[in-house]
C-alpha cells in the first residue's frame, strides 16, 4: 500500500462549487511525485485538503495506513505529513531558531535529538545557521523558502508536501531549491511537489500528474510526461 493514497477526492471552499472533482493519486514510499497544472487548477486546494485545512466532501485520503480524511490538521501533521505552504508560512516574529525548534512538535523532540535535526538543516542550508538569531521576517525570500523547507524537515516527515517552492525566487535559487529537494528525497523523504515550473519539476521527479480544472488529466513517469505532446504544448512552452 502506498504511503499516500487519494481516491475520488472532492472538495471546495466554503459553500462554493467543487474545486476538486474526484482526484485520485498515490505517492509510494521513497517517491518524488510532482503535480503540475495552471493557475487555479486546484493544486493548492488539493494539498490543503490532504492536510485537513479544507474539509473533503467525498472520497478517501489514506496516509501511512490510516484514513485521514476529516482528521484535524495537527493530528495529520503528527502522523508525519508536512506541508510547506504557498507563501512559505514562516513565523515572522520568531527567530530562525525558534521557527525550526517549533517544528519538532510532532515528535516531541528536545535536547540532543532536536539538536541533531537542527544540525542537519544547518548543513543543508548554512545561511540559516548564520542567521539563527534573526527574526524570520528579516530574511530574504530565498532564505525564507530555505527556512520553510528546513522547518518541514525538522518535523521528521514521512511525506513532504510542497506548494510551489520556486515561486518568486531568482532562477539560480530555483535551481538550488530543486537540487535540495532531490537531495532530501534521496535521503529517503517521500515528496509530493506542486509546481507551475513544469520542466524543472519533472526533471527531479520520478512520476508526475497533470491537474486541469480540478481533474487529473495525465499521469505517467516524469520522462514520459516530458515527451507527451499535450504536456509540452500546455506546460513546457512548446
Partner 1 sequence: MTQVLASGLAMGCVYALVGLSFILIYNATHGLNFAHGEFVMLAGFILYSAVDAGAPMWLAALATLGCMGVFGLVFQRLVFYPLRDRPFLAFVIATIGFGIFARNLALLVWGPNPLKVPSFFTATAVSLLGATLTPEHLFIIATTAVVLVTQYLLFFHTALGRGLRATAQNPEMAQLLGIRQNRMIAITFVLSAMLAGLAGVLVAPIFLIDTELGGAVILKAFIAIIIGGFGSIPGAVLGGLIVGLLEILVAVHVSSTYKDAIAFGVFILVLLVFPRGLLGGPVEDRV
Ligand X SMILES: Nc1ncnc2c1ncn2[C@@H]1O[C@H](COP(=O)(O)OP(=O)(O)OP(=O)(O)O)[C@@H](O)[C@H]1O
Question: What residue ranges bind ligand X (CB under 6 A)?
Answer: 13, 16, 19, 37, 39-45, 86, 196
Residue 168 binds which of partner 1, ligand X, Mg ion, none (CB < 5-8 A, kind-dependent): none
Could you say which of ligand X, Mg ion, partner 1, none residue 192 binds, taking C-beta under 5 to 8 angstroms by partner kind? none
101 binds, among ligand X, Mg ion, partner 1, none (CB under 5 to 8 A by kind): partner 1
Q: In what order do the strands lie in the sheet with 159-163?
A: 81-84, 159-163, 190-195, 32-37, 207-212, 215-221
Q: Which is nearer to partner 1, 51 or 231 (CB)?
A: 51
In the complex, least distance from residue 76 CB atom to ligand X, rounded to whole angstroms: 18
The 10 Å Cβ neighbour count of residue 138 is 12
Residue 142 binds which of partner 1, Mg ion, ligand X, none (CB < 5-8 A, kind-dependent): none
CB nearer to ligand X: give 42 or 106.
42
192-217 burial, b at 16+ Cβ within 10 Å, e below that, comes to bbbbebbebbbebbbbbbbbeebebe
**Binding of Mg ion by 197 (CB under 5 A):** no
22 vs 85, beta carbon nearer partner 1:
85
Q: Which does 37 bind (CB under 5 to 8 A by kind): ligand X, partner 1, Mg ion, none?
A: ligand X
- Least distance (Å) from Mg ion to the CB of residue 6? 17
Q: Identify which of residues 42 and 80 has a Cβ nearer to ligand X in the complex.
A: 42
* Phi and psi, residue 209, nearest 5°: -125, 145
How many C-beta atoms lie closer than 10 Å to residue 172's C-beta? 8
Q: Is residue 44 involved in binding Mg ion (CB under 5 A)?
A: yes
C-alpha cell at 121: 538543516
Whether residue 217 contacts residue 192, with contact meaning beta carbons closer than 8 Å, is answered with: no
Q: Least Å distance between CB 147 and partner 1?
A: 12
Asked if 235 and 194 touch (Cβ cutoff 8 Å), the reply is: no
Of 191, 7, 158, which is closest to residue 77 (Cα–Cα)? 158
- Give whichever of 7 and 98 is closer to partner 1, judged by the CB atom: 98
How far is the C-alpha of 129 from the C-alpha of 41, rounded, in Å? Answer: 37
CA distances from 186 to 93, 132, 165, 169, 231 (A): 33, 26, 18, 23, 26
Indicate whether 45 belongs to the interface with Mg ion (CB under 5 A): no
Residues 230, 238: Cα–Cα separation, whole Å = 9
Residues that bind partner 1 (CB under 8 A): 51, 53, 72-74, 77-78, 82-83, 85, 89-94, 98, 101-103, 105-106, 110, 137, 151, 155
Binding site for Mg ion (CB under 5 A): 43-44, 86
Amino acid at each position: 500500500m502506498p504511503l499516500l493514497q487519494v481516491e475520488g477526492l472532492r472538495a471546495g471552499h466554503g459553500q462554493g462549487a467543487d474545486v476538486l472533482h474526484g482526484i485520485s493519486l498515490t505517492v509510494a514510499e521513497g517517491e518524488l511525485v510532482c503535480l503540475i497544472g495552471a493557475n487555479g487548477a486546484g493544486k493548492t486546494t488539493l494539498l490543503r485538503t490532504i492536510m485537513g485545512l479544507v474539509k473533503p466532501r467525498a472520497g478517501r485520503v489514506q496516509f501511512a495506513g490510516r484514513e485521514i480524511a476529516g482528521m484535524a490538521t495537527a493530528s495529520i501533521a503528527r502522523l508525519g505529513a508536512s506541508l510547506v505552504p504557498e507563501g512559505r508560512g514562516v513565523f515572522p516574529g520568531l527567530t530562525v531558531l525558534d521557527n525550526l525548534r517549533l517544528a519538532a512538535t510532532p515528535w516531541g523532540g528536545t535536547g540532543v535529538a532536536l539538536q541533531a535535526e537542527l544540525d542537519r538543516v544547518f548543513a543543508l542550508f548554512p545561511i540559516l545557521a548564520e542567521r539563527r538569531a534573526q527574526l524570520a521576517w528579516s530574511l530574504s525570500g530565498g532564505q525564507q523558502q530555505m527556512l520553510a523547507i528546513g522547518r518541514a524537515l525538522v518535523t521528521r516527515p514521512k511525506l513532504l508536501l510542497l506548494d510551489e517552492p520556486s515561486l518568486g525566487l531568482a532562477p539560480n535559487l530555483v535551481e538550488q531549491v530543486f537540487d535540495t529537494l532531490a537531495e532530501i528525497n534521496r535521503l529517503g523523504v517521500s515528496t509530493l511537489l506542486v509546481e507551475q515550473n513544469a520542466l524543472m519539476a519533472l526533471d527531479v521527479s520520478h512520476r508526475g500528474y497533470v491537474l486541469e480544472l480540478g481533474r487529473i488529466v495525465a499521469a505517467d513517469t516524469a520522462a514520459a510526461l516530458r515527451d507527451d505532446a499535450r504536456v509540452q504544448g500546455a506546460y513546457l512552452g512548446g
